[in-house]
């Protein structure tokens, strides 16, 4: 069973469950660390296991541009290639439509001011970023070497199949904040058409893989050296459809109904962290919460601030991904559990993990632990002064120590959340 609910809250739609993947079980609700290019920045895979990080998210677009999905497939898939021995999710590349289109808009504004924004590759001038969006798909120019890359629903699924993540996403168009109703409606309907094409491609690749394995095993069985027909294992991958609809309630509800009724293993809510206010983001999740499936996992894309998590888990969200804990760590922002456990256990939506800026001068002479109430390796072995020193002198170890601690705190937070659901406080 891919997903099972172990405890359903009587106070809200929050639930405790398990997502069962080829590479391990994810206890939900759970935080998904972001490992865009096949690495959670500054952290060894071995340390992720020590932190008890349950899952990470890799970016299909970036892995296509470099090193290329063929080399990842040849290496045996993303887990073997990177050493990430935990369940992995991959995105579809759809978010890059949003991010690169936004850059293209910025470029257009700069061009109107007579800026020259062409760049050269092998002495040939190229136009940057997004080239074209159509019903067929999207054409990008690689930010790595300028080559043209095409993403269609079929190609996105093929890329993700070669990457080999446990959970993959259907191709979608992430709608930029501020889009008018007509554009949002058009983009959402396009996402729905792309979902059906993604499902068809996903199923056909699975069928072809099974046929290939059956033929291979038949040949092996007829050989003199036959020992075991199952010497090659097909790893199960699971497909999520993505809900869009922008800031329009009717479009959000139409989208969730379409996605949930489709033949997908789980659903993800997209386009809720693209520039809108917290109030608007919460409304978008609330609109669809009553339509979310009871028997499939639900992922919220790009959301990971503490107060957001505490609020939105009550709408039935099972997994969250966000760059914030790791990005803030690399900037010297350190999460603090101090005096927060009791507050978080009350599950007040206003509760927040405290943060300190370790670069501030006052920490130069502070020999206290990084966090007095944390039992992670960093807090048991180092002090604020040392971490301040590492950041100020730009030592690479600073990023590792800070990232380790922040991810540890996120895991503790989700342990408390699961406990709160099981004990009837959420």
Residues involved in catalysis: 91, 321
CB 167 within 8 A of CB 87: yes
CA 336/CA 405 separation, integer angstroms: 9
Q: For residues 351 and 281, what is the distance between their CA atoms, to the nearest angstrom?
A: 18
The β-bridge partners of 17 are: 5, 28
Q: How, if at all, do strands 88-90 and 56-58 pair? A: parallel
Show the CA angle centred on residue 193, arms to residues 189 and 198, nearest 5°.
140
Only one residue has tokens 């509800």, namely 253
If one counts every other C-beta atom within 10 angstroms of the C-beta of residue 225, the result is 5
Residue 249 has phi, psi (to 5 degrees) of -60, -45
β-pair partners for 298: 267
In degrees rounded to 5, what are phi and psi of residue 365?
Answer: -110, 15
CA distance 68 to 230: 29
Beta strands in 98-229 (DSSP E): 119-121, 124-126, 130-133, 138-141, 148-151, 167-169
Among the listed residues 170, 152, 153, 202, the one whose alpha carbon sits nearest the alpha carbon of residue 89: 170
Largest CA distance in the chain: 74
C-beta neighbour count of 263 within 10 angstroms: 12
Q: How far apart are CA 72 and CA 63, in angstroms?
A: 9
Helix runs in 331-396, H state only: 341-345, 377-381, 384-392
- Residue 345 vs residues 213, 313, 414, 418: alpha-carbon distances, Å: 50, 14, 11, 10
């Amino acid at each position: 069973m891919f997903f099972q609910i172990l405890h359903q809250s009587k106070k809200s739609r929050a639930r405790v469950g398990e997502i069962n993947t080829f590479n391990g079980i994810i206890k939900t609700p759970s935080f998904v660390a972001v490992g865009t290019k096949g690495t959670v920045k500054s952290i060894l895979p071995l340390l992720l296991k020590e932190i008890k990080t349950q899952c990470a998210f890799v970016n299909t677009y970036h892995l296509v541009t470099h090193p290329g999905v063929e080399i990842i497939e040849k290496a045996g898939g993303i887990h073997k290639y990177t050493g990430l021995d935990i369940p992995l999710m991959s995105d579809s590349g759809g978010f890059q439509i949003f991010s690169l289109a936004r850059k293209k808009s910025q470029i257009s504004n700069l061009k109107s001011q007579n800026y020259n924004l062409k760049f050269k590759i092998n002495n040939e001038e190229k136009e940057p970023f997004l080239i074209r969006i159509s019903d067929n798909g999207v054409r990008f120019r690689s930010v790595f070497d300028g080559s043209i890359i095409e993403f269609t629903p079929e190609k996105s699924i093929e890329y993700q199949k070669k990457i080999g993540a446990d959970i993959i996403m259907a191709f979608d168009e992430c709608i930029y904040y501020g889009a008018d109703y007509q554009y949002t409606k058009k983009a959402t309907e396009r996402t729905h058409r792309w979902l059906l094409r993604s499902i068809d491609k996903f199923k056909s690749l699975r069928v072809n893989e099974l046929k290939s394995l059956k033929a291979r095993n038949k040949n092996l069985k007829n050989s003199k050296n036959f020992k075991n027909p199952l010497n090659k294992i097909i790893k199960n991958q699971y497909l999520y459809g993505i809900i869009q609809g922008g800031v329009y309630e009717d479009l959000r509800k139409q989208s969730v109904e379409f996605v949930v009724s489709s033949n997908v293993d789980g659903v993800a809510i997209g386009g809720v962290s693209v520039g809108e206010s917290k109030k608007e983001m919460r409304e978008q999740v609330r609109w669809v919460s009553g339509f979310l499936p009871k028997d499939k996992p639900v992922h919220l894309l790009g959301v990971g601030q503490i107060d957001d998590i505490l609020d939105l888990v009550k709408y039935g969200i099972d997994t969250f991904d966000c760059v914030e804990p790791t990005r803030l760590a690399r900037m010297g922002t350190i999460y603090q559990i101090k005096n927060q456990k009791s507050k978080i256990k009350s599950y007040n939506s206003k509760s927040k993990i405290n943060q300190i800026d370790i670069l501030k001068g006052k920490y130069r002479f502070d020999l206290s632990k990084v966090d007095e109430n944390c039992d992670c390796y960093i807090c048991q072995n180092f002090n604020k002064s040392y971490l301040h020193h590492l950041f100020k002198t730009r030592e690479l170890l600073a990023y590792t120590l800070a990232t380790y601690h922040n991810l540890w705190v996120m895991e503790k937070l989700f342990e408390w959340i699961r406990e709160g659901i099981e004990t009837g406080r959420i």
